[in-house]
Amino acid sequence: TAVAEQTVRPAVREFVSGTKQLLIGGQWVNAASGRTFPTFDPATGEKITEVAHGAAEDVDRAVAAARRAFEDGPWSRTTPSERQRLIWRIGDLLLERAEQFAQLEALDNGKSVAVAQGVDVAWAADIFHYYAGWATKIEGRTITPSVPWIPGSQWHAYTLREPVGVCAQIIPWNFPLVMAAFKLAPALAAGNTVILKPAEQTPLTALLLGELFCEAGFPDGVVNILTGFGDAGAALAAHDDVDKVAFTGSTEVGKKIVDAAKGNLKKVSLELGGKSPNIVFADADLEAAIPGSANAWLFNHGQCCVAGTRLFVEESIFEEFTQGVAEFASQVKIGPGLDPTTQLGPLVSQEQLDRVTSYLRQGIADGARALTGGGRHGDSGYYVEPTVLVDVRDDMSVVREEIFGPVVAAIPFSAEEGLAAAANNTEYGLAAGIWTRDISRAHRVAKQIKAGSVWVNCYNGFDTAIPFGGYKQSGWGRELGAEAIDLYTQTKAVNVAL
C-alpha cells in the first residue's frame, strides 16, 4: 500500500492498518450503516485506509451523547480548573507525539512533514495550551443599575458567562489538525460539549486526536468525532438538539449552513473563503517583500483561505517585482509531503487538481499570461506548478474567484488613491497584506481595507491570541483570542431588587 513504502513511524503504520471508527459517547464504534469510505495519499493517489461513513443516524447518536454529557454531567459539573488541566494535557500529548501527528497529516493531506510538525502540530498544541488558561478566566461583570423611572429603587445586577451547549463543528481539509484545535479548544474551555466533523478528504489526524481525548480522561460524550461527508455536516447543521454550529469551509457551503440552522435558530459562526489583496508599494523592502509575497500564496500549496492571491504592485516596480516573485516560485521544491525537504506538496485531491487546472486553462484562454507555471506538474499525484499570472483583467475568474491552489494574479496600480477601492472590489474580506516603508501610509491603507486581518510588511502572521475572521462574505464571528470565548458562551443577566 501507499503507507508501507513510505518511511513512517510504526505507530503511524499501525494507526492506518485497520478501519477507523467514530468516537461517540466515549466509545469507538462503526457507522450505524456499517459503511466506510477510503482516504487517499495525495502524493500517489493510493488508498491509505478506510474510515467509518457517518450519516444522519450516527449524528443523532453523537448529539444525544453530547447532550447527556452537557446536561447530566459530568461535564456540566466539572470545575474550570479541571477543564483547564484536561485541555492543557491535550497540548502536552500533542507535543509528545508531534512526529506521529505530523507524519499522519503529511500522509493524508499532502503537506510537507516539516511544516506539519513545525507549524500545524506546534500551533495546535499552543491553541490547547492557550485555551486551557481561558477555562479559569471566563468571568461576568457586576453592574449597578440606576432604574431612573422607579425612584428610590435599589438594584444589584451581574452577568454570568454560560456555555452555549451542544456544539457541532464542521471543518475543512487544508489544516485538518489546526482547524480541529481552533474549534475544540475554546468550546471545551467554555464548558460546551462537541461533535466534530472532519473533512472527508483528511479525517485521520482528528481521529488520532480523539484518542488523546480518551487518554487524557475527558468524560464520555464531551468530544465526539464523526467522520463523513457533507450530508453528515448538513444533518448536524439542521439538528434541533444542536445549540450552535461552527463551520470553516467554502462560502457556498457556509450559506447552506445558515439555511439549515434556521429550524431551531441555533447560533452560527462561519469562517469562509477569501481572495485577499496583497499590496506592494515601490518603497517596500523588496528583499523581504518578494519572498513574503510569494509565500502569501504558495504556503500550504495555496490551500489557505487567507492566501494573498491578488498581488497589487505599484507600476514603477511591477516588472521587476513580478519577475522576482515568479523566480522565487519556480525554485520551490515540489515533492511528496513525507519528504522533509519538500516545500510544495500535492493538492489534497483529484477534485482539487481538476478544479485548479481548469481555472488555469480558463485564465489563459481569457488572455492572462503565466510568467511561470501554468498547469499540472508531472503526471502522478495531484501536483500543480506554482503559477504567476499577469495581463489579467478584473472580470476574469482567476481574479474574482477563490482557486485554492498555488496561483496568483498580479495587478499593477499607479497611486494610493483608488487602491483601497480596487483591493476591496471582491465579495470576500478575510485578509490583506501591505508592504511599504512609509509608516503613515501603512496605517492609512490598513484602515481602508475591508478585511478581518491586515498584515503590514509580513503575510500569514497568525498567533493564537490574535482574533481571526472575515468581513463581508468571508464569515461571521471571530475565532482565536478572547473573541473565540465569546463565540462559545452566552451571557445571562441576573437582576436583584435589594
> Do 473 and 451 form a contact (C-beta atoms < 8 A)?
no
Q: Least distance in Å: CB of 323 to ligand ADP?
A: 32
Which lies closer to ligand ADP via its Cβ, residue 116 or residue 356?
356
Which lies closer to ligand ADP via its Cβ, residue 134 or residue 175?
175
Q: Least distance in Å: CB of 407 to ligand ADP?
A: 16
Q: Least distance in Å: CB of 233 to ligand ADP?
A: 2
Q: Which residues are catalytic?
A: 271, 305
Q: Least distance in Å: CB of 174 to ligand ADP?
A: 7
Cβ neighbors of 251 (< 8 A, separation 6 or more) are 272, 273, 402, 427, 428, 473, 474
Which lies closer to ligand ADP via its Cβ, residue 254 or residue 373?
254
Which lies closer to ligand ADP via its Cβ, residue 172 or residue 345?
172
> Is 364 strand, coil or helix?
helix
Q: Least distance in Å: CB of 82 to ligand ADP?
A: 30
The verdict on 127 binding ligand ADP (CB under 6 A) reads no
The verdict on 253 binding ligand ADP (CB under 6 A) reads yes
Give the number of other Cβ atoms within 10 Å of residue 418's Cβ.
10
Which lies closer to ligand ADP via its Cβ, residue 297 or residue 318?
297
Q: Least distance in Å: CB of 259 to ligand ADP?
A: 9
Among 8, 16, 98, 199, which residue interacts with ligand ADP (rule: CB under 6 A)? 199
Give the number of other Cβ atoms within 10 Å of residue 262's Cβ.
11
Which lies closer to ligand ADP via its Cβ, residue 59 or residue 410?
59
Which lies closer to ligand ADP via its Cβ, residue 20 or residue 197?
197
| Residue whose cell numbers read 481552533 | 182
Query: Which range binds ligand ADP by CB under 6 A, 196-204, 339-347, 358-366, 439-447?
Result: 196-204
> Do 376 and 397 form a contact (C-beta atoms < 8 A)?
no
Among 9, 13, 256, 377, which residue interacts with ligand ADP (rule: CB under 6 A)? 256
Contact characters 212-251, ligand ADP, x per CB under 6 A: -----------------xx--xx--x-----------xx-
Cell numbers given for 498: 435589594
DSSP run (H or E) holding 245:
strand 244-248
* Cα distance between residue 40 and residue 107, in whole Å: 8
CA distance to 43, 87, 88, 111, 201, per residue, from 98 (Å):
21, 17, 15, 15, 21
Rounded to 5 degrees, φ, ψ at 205 are -70, -30
Q: Least distance in Å: CB of 225 to ligand ADP?
A: 12
Cβ neighbors of 120 (< 8 A, separation 6 or more) are 101, 102, 105, 111, 175, 177, 178
The verdict on 69 binding ligand ADP (CB under 6 A) reads no
Q: Least distance in Å: CB of 351 to ligand ADP?
A: 8
DSSP run (H or E) holding 271:
strand 267-271
Total chain residues near ligand ADP (CB under 6 A): 16
Which lies closer to ligand ADP via its Cβ, residue 279 or residue 384?
384
Rounded to 5 degrees, φ, ψ at 466 are -100, 125
Rounded to 5 degrees, φ, ψ at 399 are -95, -30
Buried b / exposed e across 193-202, counting CB within 10 Å, b at 16+?
Answer: bbbbbbbbbb
DSSP run (H or E) holding 225:
strand 223-225
- Count how many residues are written for the chain: 498
* Cα distance between residue 47 and residue 42, in whole Å: 9
The verdict on 275 binding ligand ADP (CB under 6 A) reads no
Which lies closer to ligand ADP via its Cβ, residue 108 or residue 200?
200
Contact characters 155-194, ligand ADP, x per CB under 6 A: ---------------xxx----------------------
Q: Least distance in Å: CB of 216 to ligand ADP?
A: 24
Region at 217 (left for phi over 0; alpha for psi -120 to 50; beta for the rest): left
The verdict on 200 binding ligand ADP (CB under 6 A) reads yes
* Cα distance between residue 29 and residue 224, in whole Å: 11
The verdict on 403 binding ligand ADP (CB under 6 A) reads no
Parallel, antiparallel, or unpaired: how do β-strands 142-143 and 155-163 relate?
antiparallel
Among 124, 179, 223, 257, which residue interacts with ligand ADP (rule: CB under 6 A)? 257
In this chain, which residue has its C-beta nearest to ligand ADP?
A: 233
Binding interface with ligand ADP (CB under 6 A): 170-172, 197, 199-200, 229-230, 233-234, 237, 249-250, 253, 256-257
